[in-house]
Amino acid sequence: MPLLRSVALLSLVTLTLWGQYRRVHVHEIMTLPPDSLAVGSLLSPFVGDTVVLVGIVTVPPVLDPATDRRPLLWAGARWVTFLRDSNPNLTAYAGINVLQADTTVQTTYFDRIRPGDYVEVLVRITNFPTSTDPLRNRLGPTQAEVITGPQARPVEFVDYNVPLPEPVPVQISDFYSGPVGSSVPNIERGSRYVGMLVELRDVVVVANQPVIVISDDAGNQMYLRDQSGYFTTRAHRLRNFTPYPVGQRIRRLRGYITASTVGGQPQSFMITPVYPDDVELGTAPPVITSVQRDRARPFPRPTEPVPITIGVRQGDHPLTFVRLRATDGGTDTLTLEATHQGDTLFTATIPPYPAETLVRYWVEAADTAGTLVRFPVSGVLFYKVLDRPTRIADIRQTLNPNGASGYVGFRVVLEGVLTADTSDIPNNGAPRMYLQDDTAAFSGIWLQTIATTDPVRSFRRGDRIRVSGVVAELGARAQDQHVTALTSVALVDSNGDGGFISSGNTVPPVIVRTRDLAGNRQGQLPAEGWESMLVEFRNVIVVDTNADAPSNFGEFHIVDADLFGTAEESTARLRVETDDGATSYGTRGTDGKTVLHRGQLLDYIRGILFYSFGNYKLVPRKDDDIGIGVGVPSVSRPSRISGHLVGEALELPVPEGVERLRVELSTVLGQRVWRWEGIVHASPLRLSLSGLPPGMYVVRVVSDRQCSAFPIILLR
């Protein structure tokens, strides 16, 4: 018998160790009720419960608990397995992802389970990915987390060597319709296979950076997750793995349906192959390894042709052609046959285009087997023809859906006004500076400086300067690196000014609303257009003291005042980042900073719009960027309707001309508890609130002219 394993009678186990917890099978937890599916939710009714989970192990958390403790699957430094329901005939809602977060705890015996073990394990039912936005949170499928705290119990082994069923045949369309980035999840069908071993046939790789994307012939796509050490280039790799080339056919792909995030966006369904033989490759296609143009000419002039250098590596069959295609966005497309220069090198030249033309181009290659590959796989490469100085918007405006600039790696010269200097956004010793040359969208850019002695760091907010730099996409982590920035920044001397032009310049903030930016995905408009620019929100209310509770990353939410306390509030929240800037406001209360609480009115709050960890967020610079309100929040400054309590009645002075009102009371959590609507016959309007329990409420007053919101405290 394996080391430290013991078989116990099921009834005895249940009565002794697990008696205080409900004993449930995988199918019970994973089956979703019709009302959940109707609203597109993947959350099990068991989420939040601690239960004794019963199932059959399908994947070992470590290769061998005695001789090779490397993990097979890895999820943020956690042990991972999947349990299958004990009923082998089930082909839906029969699998669940199980994780142990603290791998220093070995008294659970979780690291010793092996495929075919029939086990009982004490777990808490959770979901992943999680979000404070209820609409996004429900897209995170159900999983189980092993209890490792004071309640921890060792895994109970009920039986061994239980046969495992074959993978369930599926199609990509069971999970998504359309290409990644704009695909529509199939919640009703996809939810059936979460945590289960499935099999896809005859798919093709259409992207491999930063995550492999597979597609069927109808164009439906999903991500292949690199969670297994056999299919990753990350630190937990178990072999040398090279991501499959674009165009690679895959005859058969087995894997578990899991969930994660890509580029900060939740992906409800990803396929995770585990073992090397889970992937059976088809014919190797030609590979377009590079498409480059002269880095010294980011913006060609109207008289200049543009040479393109192309690298193509032959696959299993000889090449039949390599060609470059170009268009100015109209109906005509140039087809240019590339010239073979030897080995894998080809060249083609795009002819001159008029000034201000946005030239789009791409490369195609085919082989004798009829395989056609394209670079880029979707979308186009592009450049703008200019006969004037470069503006920031020329760099920032993009055809890439993730917001990435088309000029990464090119050195450019820009002139603008600093809207934030190193004292504004110190960012824990890695300050960010921002340059802006207009108030139109895409007119701001991050200046990245590394050395404390960098001359650019000596300039202050309001200085107009001229700089050069290499365009890059940066971010707090790999999947967020689509914030356009200038790196290797240098001052451009013109007429002996050393790059300095003038001081004392002011840049007016762009006035925006939380409802327009909240929930915007990476690269999505309008948020992408205002990224790295000075923006201002007016008449907003603080929604919470900590956007990431119980964790705390220095961020809180704000919302437009007229949406505070309404059903729309949850989808209109925008994050405010307090750790990066130099304000005296924060979220912890233990660092000397002032914590703003739910219901606090802000007459205005301004700063730089940034993107990190899956969210656009505002970064105020100093305290004058935050105007603490003392009046009544309102969307309309003139003739706003405020009110106060007189005993147990709400008294509302009504401006002249207002004939009809709707008045609502909600709890601070947004639950509406009282409503009145009618004709106003006299001012002030007095409405009885008798019968409501004491507490804090948000009053929302709506007329045909405006909407106001303000808090009240009802006492008894």
pLDDT digits (tens, 9 = 90+) for 168-197: 999 999 999 988 877 899 999 999 999 999
- Please state, in angstroms and as integers, the Cα–Cα distance from residue 511 to each residue in 267, 500, 534, 685, following that order: 32, 29, 9, 34
For the CA atoms of 274, 277, 282, 284, the dihedral, rounded to the nearest 10 degrees, stands at 80
Minimum mean pLDDT among 197-211, 354-368, 494-508, 648-662: which range?
A: 648-662
Q: Are residues 572 and 683 in the same domain?
A: no
In a domain, 3, yes or no: no
Average per-residue pLDDT for the chain: 88
CATH number for the domain that contains residue 698 = 2.60.40.1930
What's the start-to-end Cα distance of the chain, in Å? 69
Phi, psi of 705 (to 5 degrees): -110, -30
Which residue type sits at 134? P
Per-residue pLDDT at 634: 37
- Please state, in angstroms and as integers, the Cα–Cα distance from residue 365 to each residue in 290, 293, 311, 345, 483, following that order: 12, 18, 10, 13, 32
Q: Could you give the CA distance from residue 106 to residue 116 in angstroms, rounded to a whole number?
A: 20
pLDDT tens column, 226-238: 999 999 999 999 9
Q: Are residues 147 and 243 in the same domain?
A: no
Q: Could you give the CA distance from residue 377 to residue 243 in angstroms, rounded to a whole number?
A: 15
In a domain, 5, yes or no: no
Q: Could you give the CA distance from residue 365 to residue 358 in angstroms, rounded to a whole number?
A: 24
In a domain, 637, yes or no: no
Per-residue pLDDT at 642: 59
Q: How far is CA 576 from the centre of its chain?
A: 16
Q: Are residues 178 and 142 in the same domain?
A: no
Q: What is the DSSP letter of 231?
A: S
Q: Are residues 365 and 493 in the same domain?
A: no
Average pLDDT over residues 539-552: 90
Minimum mean pLDDT among 126-135, 489-498, 663-672, 692-701: which range?
A: 663-672
Count CB-CB contacts under 10 A for residue 447.
Answer: 26
- From 487, 520, 716, select the one nearest 615 (Cα to Cα): 520
Q: Are residues 200 and 247 in the same domain?
A: yes
Average pLDDT over residues 62-87: 93
CATH number for the domain that contains residue 368 = 2.60.40.10
Three-point CA angle 143, 148, 150, nearest 5°: 130
Q: Are residues 609 and 654 in the same domain?
A: no
**What's the structural domain count of the chain?**
5
Look up tokens 């809180």; give the residue: 556
Map 370-385 to HEC letters: CCEEEECCCCCEEEEC
Minimum mean pLDDT among 69-78, 424-433, 500-509, 669-678: which range?
A: 669-678
pLDDT-based confidence at residue 567 (cuts at 50, 70, 90):
confident
Enter the tokens of residue 479. Answer: 């999947």
In a domain, 397, yes or no: no
- From 55, 108, 94, select the one nearest 192 (Cα to Cα): 94
Model pTM? 0.70
Could you tell me the residue range of the domain that residue 50 belongs to? 10-159
Per-residue pLDDT at 332: 86
Last residue of a domain, one of 577, 604, 630: 630
In a domain, 635, yes or no: no
Contact (Cβ atoms closer than 8 angstroms) between residue 187 and residue 147:
no
Look up tokens 């989808």; give the residue: 571
Per-residue pLDDT at 657: 66
Strands 197-207 and 168-169: parallel
Minimum mean pLDDT among 298-312, 622-636, 674-688: which range?
A: 622-636
- From 377, 97, 380, 403, select the one nearest 213 (Cα to Cα): 377
pLDDT-based confidence at residue 673 (cuts at 50, 70, 90):
confident
Last residue of a domain, one of 159, 194, 209: 159
Q: Could you give the CA distance from residue 404 to residue 293 in angstroms, rounded to a whole number?
A: 18
Average pLDDT over residues 684-697: 81
Q: Are residues 320 and 437 in the same domain?
A: no
pLDDT tens column, 208-229: 888 999 999 888 999 999 999 9
- From 99, 265, 280, select the one nearest 201 (Cα to Cα): 280
pLDDT-based confidence at residue 635 (cuts at 50, 70, 90):
very low
Q: Are residues 603 and 489 in the same domain?
A: yes
Last residue of a domain, one of 231, 259, 281: 281
Q: Could you give the CA distance from residue 203 to residue 281 in angstroms, rounded to a whole number?
A: 10
Q: Could you give the CA distance from residue 317 to residue 319 in angstroms, rounded to a whole number?
A: 7
Q: What's the maximum distance between 2 C-alpha atoms anywhere in the chain? A: 90
The more confidently predicted of residues 518 and 652 is: 518
Q: Are residues 528 and 593 in the same domain?
A: yes
The more confidently predicted of residues 179 and 155 is: 155
Q: Could you give the CA distance from residue 446 to residue 608 in angstroms, rounded to a whole number?
A: 10
In a domain, 393, yes or no: no
Enter the tokens of residue 469. Answer: 């730099």
**Residue 17 scores a pLDDT above 60:** no
| Beta-bridge mates of residue 660 | 679
Q: Could you give the CA distance from residue 161 to residue 57 in angstroms, rounded to a whole number?
A: 10
Q: Are residues 152 and 298 in the same domain?
A: no
In a domain, 390, yes or no: no
Q: Are residues 379 and 260 in the same domain?
A: no
CATH number for the domain that contains residue 126 = 2.40.50.140
Look up tokens 């999840």; give the residue: 185
**Residue 335 scores a pLDDT above 50:** yes
Q: Are residues 418 and 334 in the same domain?
A: no
Contact (Cβ atoms closer than 8 angstroms) between residue 48 and residue 18:
no
In a domain, 389, yes or no: no
Look up tokens 């980042």; give the residue: 577
Q: Residues of 416-438 as b/e, b for ≥16 C-beta within 10 angstroms? A: bbbbbbbebbbbeeebbbbbbbe
